[in-house]
Amino acid sequence: MIFREAQTTDVPQILLVRNSVKENILPDASALSDDHCEESITVRGKGWVCEENGQILGFAIADLEDHMVWGMFVRPEHEEKGIGKELHRLMMDWYFSQTSETVWTGTAQRTRATIFYNQHGWKAVGGMENGDIRFEMTADDWKEFKASQQV
């Protein structure tokens, strides 16, 4: 497995990964366009992928304009291999090297994603209009989390 920055040629596979998940399913998969994804990794922010034998197994994208995690997903058949953890580290290290603004994300309640965010330094700060939980992380939260992992 290799971890690398996402390229525009990865967009079709990124969207395949996004639509393959069993939780946090998009109500309308067609609402997420190639152009939107491409803009997110080239203009608004940056993305990373985990690739093996030419297949993207997972991705993470941070949006600097809206200060949010645009998406972080792993193919269900490749979960529990540390892919999400490494993609998260790459994304957060880059994000906080670019800005000190608090970053946020939202995820459905009672999902593996809520557990992941709780275990990786994020703070649940309330609900969102769509019923998801809003999580936030400050630069200091990220530094503290990283320091706790190096013990």
Per-residue pLDDT of the chain (151 residues; tens, 9 = 90+): 999 999 999 999 998 888 776 666 655 555 567 788 899 999 999 999 999 999 999 999 999 999 999 989 998 888 889 999 999 999 999 999 999 999 999 988 888 889 999 999 999 999 888 888 999 999 999 999 999 987 5
Domains and CATH numbers, the chain: 2-149 (3.40.630.30)
H or E element: which one contains 73?
A: strand 68-74
* Tokens matching residue 31: 């609402």
Structural contact between residues 76 and 93, judged by C-beta atoms closer than 8 angstroms? no
CA neighbours within 13 Å on the CB side: how many for 88?
20
